Structure 1
């Protein structure tokens, strides 16, 4: 972006790229310190993430991105700085019309990949395990609430609502989505060492663990596109749609995981890449 010069009597309405990058560094520091410190405590406690006392640091760690976003918002308010130039408003309005279509698109990428896997000799589609999960959590409402909080609400205000627009200060949509995807994937690494998590069940050095880690990148493209269209509510919808569909269909076969990754990569590159810089 070109530098913004201030004329006499003119108010500057946009934060400079330098300030935006400084804010991004603070966001990374707070997010990773909070999440990894909490998850380290969970690892040392040794119990499953659903039992006390491990559940407390495990859940708190997931809110690292939101805590990072809150810290930046407080600092920006104290300094009287404007929102980043590429921030998308989350106020109710026409942009919210994108929420439902994008949620359905996100779920469709998983369903299509699962159907392709079946055609290629992979596992049959089944809702049995998903229904058992719903019953274990106490019914559809607790299931939806847990899927909404554990990931979408805890992360999207930070990754997309805070980091993404600051990355856009100096790079294209596609590059910002890819870079954020890599950072997001690294952020998940401690979860592989907490017994009882999905990541620990996969194993860090297994094919499923590798595919899970790689799949975070196309997810970042999809949620980045959603943020561009409908702000944080839309990125929350995409995150929720993918996570919930994967849980209901019990996507844990490497073949199906690879196809989910491929389908989402194609869709993500098509959507975000075609919008240009």
Structure 2
């Protein structure tokens, strides 16, 4: 029988969170900042951008696994939410359809304000793909890219850290809404090296709007996490839907307008749940679930 993990005490969660966030920024920024400096001409060479980005996006996962192993005895429980899939269809519908719906609404508002329709015939992802004369190209790639993004891309690299590790501890310490706002701000700041890298797609997007967007998204991620009793699978699907919507669906321009519209649903959720974001009862962390399972076997 595996040794059960101990429930973090009132002191240990704070140290675990500090360790996790420190490691996350050290790994992610440590991988990407050399690329940033090389692009600015500060240093002569840097690792390939693709490799640096791969390490950077998996920084939260690596930090969560390392912290859990050192401070909680093991990282296995972080992934237990992958098997929490027997959920209401409305949760699947929301995480898969909300991001493209928001993109379409943003485009519609932009048109109403005098801008032209986005070029939906040439989605942003075409800039990274070869020119192929195939019907409906590149849409046939969507299922494959969705699976890759979910299990081998930034969805897995980030959500194990942000949601499976940090969110339960932050909610236990500060409550659902404050935890969501704080985690969303940290999540946004984590993206800063991309914004300051010459030639990166985020270079010309105002950094403040990105942070507002991640804070808004964090509220919705917490609501989904609480409503699905900590389903890591749904968090991964939600993240993938957000990522691939921006790649496959051209949207109306205007960072400020996009950030403002992104807050409509979070504010509605905050109002509907009176700030609880669906947290009716304390959701066990992975460590707590492991201890309870061990106690049941004893």
User: TM-score, length-normalised on structure 2?
Assistant: 0.73
1:218: Cα distance to partner?
0.6
> For residue 132 of structure 1, what is the aligned residue in structure 2?
126
Partners of 2:271 and 2:34 lie apart in 1 by: 40
Q: Does 1:160 align with 2:163?
A: yes
Per the alignment, residue 199 of structure 2 pairs with: 196
Q: Quick one: which of 21, 38, 63 aligns to 1:28?
A: 21
Which residue number corresponds to residue 146 of structure 2? 144
- Could you tell me which runs of 5 or more consecutive residues in structure 2 were left unpaired when the two chains were aligned: 41-45, 133-137, 277-298
Task: Give secondary structure in 2 for the equivalent of 1:169.
Answer: helix
Aligned to 2:280: none
Partner of 2:225: 227
Give the superposition deviation at 1:209: 4.0
Q: Is this contact kept in 2: 1:224–1:235, CA < 8 A?
A: no
CA separation of 1:54 and 1:81: change in aligned 2, threshold 3 A: closer
Of residues 172, 178, 181, the one that matches 2:181 is 178
For the residues of structure 2 that align with 1:103 and 1:124, how far apart are their CA atoms?
23
- What residue in structure 2 maps to residue 4 of structure 1? none
**1-side partners of 2:75 and 2:250: how far apart?**
45
* TM-score of the pair, normalised by structure 1: 0.78
- Cα shift at 1:261: 2.0
1:3 corresponding residue in structure 2: none
| Contact 1:45-1:54 at 8 Å conserved across structures | no
| Structural RMSD (CA) | 3.2
Contact 2:58 2:158 in 1 (8 A): yes
3-state SS in 2 of match to 1:227: helix
Q: CA contact under 8 A between 1:42 and 1:58: conserved in structure 2?
A: no
**4+ long deviations beyond 6 Å:** 80-84
Q: Structure 1: which 5+ residue stretches go unaligned?
A: 1-10
Q: How many residues align?
A: 254
More helix by share: 1
1:269 and 2:271 aligned:
no
1:260 paired to 2:263: no
